[in-house]
Structure 1
Amino acid sequence: MTRASVIVPSRGGAQRLPRLLAALGAQTHPDVEIIVVVDGDIDGSETVLERSPITVRRVVFTENKGRSAALNAGFAAATGDVLIRCDDDLEPAPEWVAAHVAAHAGESVGVIGLYRNVYPDSPYARAYGRKADLLFAEEAYATPAERTWRYWAGNASVTRETFALIGPYSSAYRSYGWEDVDWGYRLHAASVPVRMLPSAESIHHSPSVSAAIRSRRAYLSGSARRTFERLHGVDAAGPLNRPGGVWGGAVRALAWRADEARVQRVASFVDRLIAVVPRPVGEKLVALTVESAAIAGYDRNEPSRSLV
């Protein structure tokens, strides 16, 4: 029987972990090891794990070391044949582990399951969030096989042998974003096929729930993209999307000289607006702030900045 290890990096996850652990305890696959790495306990997460009704192996950092360090500690502790990376805000279906394991029965591959975001009803969800998710999934499943590595994220798996081939997650990423994309790219660069697996999709309970949150993540992701380019070259990820025309001019104008604080101020104002403007207008306002935030984060992170 193939043993699966589920590796969960977590910070501030005391409220999220019980739901995930309940879902992992209901898996149909008979041999599942669960490893949770607490990246500095700021909310009693270790106590939640100690009281878990299912067996959980714990790795607890005394201080925040970042997502990559937490992932590497979890993968190093794993004993399974199939290693599944899992965010702490997921709620996978009972067949989730079995789907990941079955996908590794043949050749060496990397496997990606997309998120199915769950939103509270809100102007943001109605104007932008739900539609953006549908478009993202359509785009992901239509992506050519040689580009699917771009979607490597918090629901993905490889075999133990493949992880040993690729090596640990890069410590160059300390803020939000791109440590997963980096690892997916390294799979691709090693000629390991990366496949989307619809049967491994999982419910995701902590998506962006406002323009402010979504824009901040876009800004930090844009900044992290620079780190990726310094490690792998500017051509590895393809060109940054800089739209043209009138729309592109508006995006560039909003992004010009914007820092994270300005992005947050603008996005917070948009959150107030979308509660009162027609839905199509709200959608455009959120898209404008998100696209400009990504460009601003990228442009503010100078290429000459040294890796950390």
Structure 2
Amino acid sequence: MISVIIPTYNRRDLLEKKLRALETQQGEFEVIVVADGCSDDTVTFLQTYQPAYPLELIQTPGLGAAGARNRGAEIARGDILLFSDDDVMPQPGWIEAHQKAQQKPRTVAVGRLELPLELRGTGAAELKGPRVFWWNITGNNTSMPKALFDEVGGYDPSFSSYGGEDPDLGYRLMRAGARLVFVRDARALHEAFDYRSKAMEKARQAGAAHVRVWKKHNDPRIAWALGVHPALVALKLALLPSFKGLWGPRGDYELAYAWGASEAWNPPSAS
């Protein structure tokens, strides 16, 4: 059985859209929603919503995505955990595709993630394969055995703000010898609900968080793979102010990402 784990924070309408999309999925699964510090009507809705599939609600006090996902994993009854955020809409056959991908042991299955037309090329997460790497393991559309998740220690809750928790987990899964596969038929649409208004803020936070991942593990491969090696950051900061327009919205994202990484490498001294 698959346990679908969905952390959410004050996005009741978006969450409802996702849960109702899950009503059409085939296969054996349960859904665990972790309402992480919600102050809107999310909990009220979940207490009255009665889908055909088993649904569990956990309330947590604003732990952040990493901590919320860990809490969901703790109570999961399924052999397989499928992490998927509240702004990621499953397409037909999603559950079955992940179940089929999990026939071999120690598999981490990364599904196909698509964006609405208006968000393509902006830096928002999209993954169409055919290859995947450890840094593609995210909480948007990824399944793995619960035993493997527990073996590597789950998500690191110290990554409590935006970014960092996914590549940190992906790196540890890679080091543990996980079998990483791309699952084309496990399609989901990433609506990236607040990306339009918070793209630059998120890019800056991600750059800083990915430096933290490198510092935690002290493996130069992380810095190069995530684009936060000091040499790369210096090059981006030198070139992008003049040439970012050639990339369109993606150029603005990359510059903000580089600034965040630079600040993490060279934090301002306390006055």
Whether TM-score is above 0.5 comes out as: yes
Pairwise CA distance, 1:108: 1.8
SS in 2 for 1:201: strand
Pairwise CA distance, 1:141: 2.7
Cα distance in 2 for partners of 1:134, 1:25 equals 27
Pairwise CA distance, 1:209: 4.9
Aligned to 1:165: 151
1:16-44 Cα offsets, whole Å, 9 max, x none, are 11111111121110x21110001101211
The question of 1:301 aligning with 2:264 is answered yes
The question of 1:56 aligning with 2:55 is answered yes
Cα distance in 2 for partners of 1:132, 1:166 equals 32
SS in 2 for 1:227: helix
The question of 1:46 aligning with 2:65 is answered no
Q: 1:294 to 1:134 in 2, by over 3 A?
A: closer
Cα distance in 2 for partners of 1:283, 1:235 equals 29
Cα distance in 2 for partners of 1:199, 1:193 equals 18
Cα distance in 2 for partners of 1:177, 1:67 equals 9
Q: 1:292 to 1:134 in 2, by over 3 A?
A: closer
Cα distance in 2 for partners of 1:45, 1:134 equals 25
Preserved CA contact (<8 Å) 1:230 1:303: no
Partner residue of 1:86 out of 80, 84, 87:
84
Greater strand share, 1 or 2?
A: 2
The one-letter amino acid paired with 1:130 is: R
Q: 1:170 to 1:133 in 2, by over 3 A?
A: closer
Aligned to 2:200: 215
Cα distance in 1 for partners of 2:80, 2:182 equals 16
SS in 2 for 1:158: strand
Cα distance in 1 for partners of 2:201, 2:125 equals 20
Pairwise CA distance, 1:97: 0.9
1:91-117 Cα offsets, whole Å, 9 max, x none, are 212311111111111232101113211
Q: What are structure 2's unaligned runs of at least 5 residues? A: none
**TM-score, normalization by structure 1:** 0.76
Cα distance in 1 for partners of 2:233, 2:160 equals 29
The question of 1:187 aligning with 2:173 is answered yes
The one-letter amino acid paired with 1:292 is: L
Identity %: 25
1:139-184 Cα offsets, whole Å, 9 max, x none, are x5345xxxx1111111101112212222220022111112011111
Kindly report which structure 2 residues correspond to 1:227-242, keeping only aligned pairs within 5 A, or say none: 227-239=212-224, 240=227, 242=232
Preserved CA contact (<8 Å) 1:11 1:40: yes
Q: 1:33 to 1:231 in 2, by over 3 A?
A: same
Partner residue of 2:23 out of 22, 25, 45:
25
The question of 1:95 aligning with 2:93 is answered yes
Cα distance in 2 for partners of 1:14, 1:45 equals 5
Aligned to 1:264: none
Q: 1:142 to 1:164 in 2, by over 3 A?
A: closer
Q: 1:26 to 1:47 in 2, by over 3 A?
A: same
The one-letter amino acid paired with 1:16 is: L
Aligned to 1:35: 32
Aligned to 1:130: 120
Aligned to 1:15: 13
Q: 1:9 to 1:299 in 2, by over 3 A?
A: same
Q: What are structure 1's unaligned runs of at least 5 residues? A: 120-124, 255-280
Aligned to 1:141: 130
Q: 1:134 to 1:217 in 2, by over 3 A?
A: closer
SS in 2 for 1:196: strand
Aligned residues between the structures: 260
Cα distance in 2 for partners of 1:290, 1:93 equals 28
Cα distance in 2 for partners of 1:152, 1:214 equals 20
1:108-142 Cα offsets, whole Å, 9 max, x none, are 210111321125xxxxx3xxx3245799546x534
Rg (Cα) greater in structure: 1
Cα distance in 2 for partners of 1:233, 1:217 equals 24
The one-letter amino acid paired with 2:220 is: D
Cα distance in 1 for partners of 2:57, 2:110 equals 25
Preserved CA contact (<8 Å) 2:34 2:68: yes
